[in-house]
Structures are given as C-alpha cells and as structure tokens.
Amino acid sequence: MVTNGEATGLSHVSSEGEARMVDISEKAVTRREARASARVVCAPEVLDMIMGGQLSKGDALATARIAGITAAKKTGDLIPLCHPLSLDFVGVEFERVSAGELLISCTARTAGRTGVEMEAMTGASVAALTVYDMTKAADKSIVLGPIQLEHKSGGKSGDFKRR
C-alpha cells in the first residue's frame, strides 16, 4: 500500500494515501500535444471490408473517427481524476500496417496546464472499440491492443517519444 504519494512520485495520491485530483492552478499554460495508438488485428478479409467501407453496419472508419474524437473530448468525464480539458484539436487516423492489422492513431492538442495523454489514449481506445463493434459479426477473433502513448510534448516533464 502506498502511504506517501509525494515521496513515491504518485501525484494522484495524497500524503495520507488517499486518491486526489492534482492541483494544477499554479502551473503555466503551455502548448501540449500527445499522440497515442491502438491496434486492431483481424482476418485479412475483414480488414479488406473495413478499408473498403463494405461492412453491413456502414463505414467503420468514419464512425470510429467520430467516436474517437468524441471520446477524447469526454475523457474528464470517464477517468475519475482527469481534469476536464478544452481541446484545440483531436484527430484520428487509420493505417493498414499488414494484411490483418490496422493501426489507429489519435492526436490531441491544447494550450493548458496539464497534458493531453489521457485524451489521446482514450480517443485511440474508443476508435478501436468502435471498429470492433462494427466488425464483430464478421470476425469473432478480433484482438485489440496494445494501446499506448507514442509521443507527448509540452509541460514540465518535457517531451516523450516511444522508440
């Protein structure tokens, strides 16, 4: 059990070991950006249908893009200790990286006091879940993941880029 959040570097844990929202009121407003990714692995024939917009439920990529953007905007409502942010941009992109693998990237930007990593990861996650929902009738063996932060910039902790 963690009893001293400050000593361990866990900013969402008080010195009494209680969950807390971090006070960002004294932090400087800076430009912040994060990009996260999620992967969808499915049968190549199903990915052909996804990429060609041939699913019976409709255009999975267009629907997943809207779902990812909407989810990023609602991250503060979904993750209990996340600050609600005013996002200046959210973008969701898709790339077929192999016969049966789709890479989803979500980028979030803001000028604010805290980062947008959770918004980017939430957007990528929900976009992947939406692709799954729209294709599950065609392929029950779809695998989602990993979901991961690829890049972040801005703020006190500096830049991060996955290798």
Rounded to the nearest 10°, the torsion over CA 131, 40, 120, 82 is: 80
pLDDT surpasses 70 at 30: yes
Task: Read off the pLDDT of each residue in 139-146 and give the average, rounded to a whole number.
Answer: 96
Catalytic residue selected from 88, 133, 139, 159: 133
pTM, rounded to two decimals: 0.90
Q: What distance in Å separates the CA atoms of residue 140 and residue 156, rounded to the nearest whole number?
A: 44
Residue with tokens 């912040």: 32
Q: What is the pLDDT of residue 5?
A: 44
pLDDT band at residue 9, thresholds of 50, 70 and 90?
low
pLDDT surpasses 80 at 23: yes
Residue pair 110/34 in contact (Cβ under 8 Å)? The answer is no
Report, in angstroms and rounded to the nearest whole number, the Rg of the chain calculated over CA atoms: 18
Q: What is the pLDDT of residue 16?
A: 83
Structural domains in the chain? Answer: 24-161 (3.30.70.640)
Q: Is 133 a catalytic residue?
A: yes
Task: Read off the pLDDT of each residue in 68-88 and give the average, rounded to a whole number.
Answer: 96
Task: Read off the pLDDT of each residue in 112-118 and give the average, rounded to a whole number.
Answer: 95
